[in-house]
Amino acid sequence: GIDVMSLSITARSVSGRLTVAVQDNGSGMDKEALKSIRSLLRSEKNETTHTGLHTAQRRIQLMYGMSYGVKIESSKEGGTRVKVTMPVIKA
């Protein structure tokens, strides 16, 4: 059979927090790869090629605080989910 990649995007606003989640059904990451990316998101310096993830995390946290930012969940053969959380700002 042909494997079909699916992608879902959801957005929620709860208690003043906006969460946007992107989920795929791909091959996912093993525990070591996930640990490495999570470590990158916590670090102040980026010495990897994952510049987009690190930049997004740093900008969100510098603008809104450490309780906001990017979180990644993944498991081998279980797909990957990336969640971005920011405060709801009304103009």
- Mean pLDDT of successive 10-residue stretches along the chain, which has 91 residues: 84 96 93 91 80 90 95 91 93 71
Say which amino acid occupies 46: N
| Per-residue model confidence as pLDDT tens digits over 62-78 | 999 999 999 999 988 88
Would you state the pLDDT for residue 2?
A: 61
The number of residues making up the chain comes to 91
Residue 59 burial (10 A CB sphere; 0-12, 13-18, 19+): exposed
The per-residue pLDDT for 1 is 58
What is the sign of the dihedral through the CA atoms of 55, 74, 43 and 17?
positive
pLDDT tens for 7-16 read 999 999 999 9
**pTM of this structure:** 0.83
Of 10, 32, 8, residue with least CA distance to 84: 10
Residue with tokens 């957005």, as numbered in its chain: 11
pLDDT at 9: 97
pLDDT at 59: 94
Residue 26 DSSP class: S
